[in-house]
Structure formats: structure tokens, C-alpha cells
Amino acid sequence: MVTKIMAIAIFSFFYNSVESCSNPDKTNQEIVDIVETQEEETINLNLGHLSYRQKIGSDKDGKGSEFIKIQVVDVTNPKLHSIAVEVFHLENGTENILGSFALYPSDNIGNFLIATQGKLNPGGMVLLKLVVPETTKQSDSVNITLKKVSFL
């Protein structure tokens, strides 16, 4: 079940709304919404929900894993906006980038590997951020559906 961290979500919603009203043609990188998910669920990242984080539960997933595997199972992007996803390790409020990937073509699904570089610690989180570098309109539809990330 998806649960939201309310304070951030509310802030994001407010920020998003204000931005949308004042500037319908905007870049989206500032907007951050954080959700967590349970196993078997899919996660949607879009212009309103730009990020997702997942706890690193065990040492096997942490120091024991070589790769983070991200499965993009569905994409809506009729205007073929450039889409990338940045992957971070989040611990004690500090984000360290581990890698990034992009969709090609920009409406194509795929499986992606990001090397952990041995940097994952149990108790930390994996943070995914959707990046749409082009200017988009409020009416633009950009959505990617991911499976819960797995550790290899």
C-alpha cells in the first residue's frame, strides 16, 4: 500500500499548485514528492510525483548487492519528452548519486541496472527522481510506471 509522507506531500502539492498557476510552462525538477511502497506494488512517477524512495531492509540488499535493478513497465509520453531517472542512495538526509538512466525511445519500457558501488547501507534508502529536462506544459502527460526496485 502506498503511504505518503504527509508534510512533504502537502508542501509539494502546494508548491506544485502555486507553480502551476503562476507558470504553466515550467520545468519540473524542483517538485519533490516522496512516496514509499510495499512489495508487489507498482509506482508511478509523473510531473506531479517526481520521486520515489525505498528502504534498504537487509544487509543482503545493502552491502551485499552489486546492482539496483529498476524495471520500467509502462510509459505514457505522447510528446516524447526526454525522460531520465536519477538514482541516489539516501542516508541521514544526504543524497549520493549512484547513477542514472534514460528511456529510449522516450516512450519505451525497459530494465535498467545501476551499480551500487558498495555504497548501500541497511537503514538507508534508494531514491529515484524523474527528470524531464525539457519545458513541459501543465497539460502534458508524462508518466512512468515502475516496479519496486530490486537488489542483485
Partner 1 sequence: MGDFNNEINSLDRRVFIKGLGLVSLGVVSGLTLGGCEGCAEKIRNRPIRRRLRTGSPEVDADIETYREAVQLMKGLPSTDSRSWINQATIHGTIAGGFNQCQHGTDHFFSWHRAYLYFFEKICQELTGNPDFGLPYWNWNQNPGIHSAYQDTSSALFESRNTNDLSNVWAVSDDALNTIFDDTNFFTFSSQIEGTPHNTVHSVVGQTMVTGGSPLDPIFWNHHCMVDYCWAKWNIEMENDNPNDTAWGGTEWDHFVDGEGNPVTMSAALTTVLPLLSYQYETSAIGDSNETFSIASNREFKKIEKRVREGTNVKMDIKQRMRLSDRDSISLLTPFSSVKNISGSNFSRILNKPNFEENIFVSVKYEDLPPTNDFFVRVYINMPDANLASSIEDVHFAGSFAFFGTNKTSNEFHGSGHKRHQPNFLVNITPTLRKLRQNQLLTDNDSISVQLVPVAISGRTLSEDLSKLILNELEIIVTPIEIETKQ
Stretch that binds partner 1, among 10-18, 24-32, 50-58, 67-75 (CB under 8 A): 67-75
Q: How far is the CB of 10 from partner 1 (least distance, A)?
A: 30
Sketch the per residue contact string, 114 through 133, with partner 1: x for CB under 8 A, - otherwise: xx-x---------------x
Total binding residues for partner 1 by CB under 8 A? 31
Calpha distance 51→19 (Å, rounded): 18
Grid cell, residue 73, equals: 513497465
- Would the CA dihedral through 107, 113, 41, 90 be positive or negative? negative
Q: How far is the CB of 13 from partner 1 (least distance, A)?
A: 28
Q: How far is the CB of 95 from partner 1 (least distance, A)?
A: 13
Cell numbers 499548485 correspond to 17
Q: H/E element holding 101?
A: strand 94-102
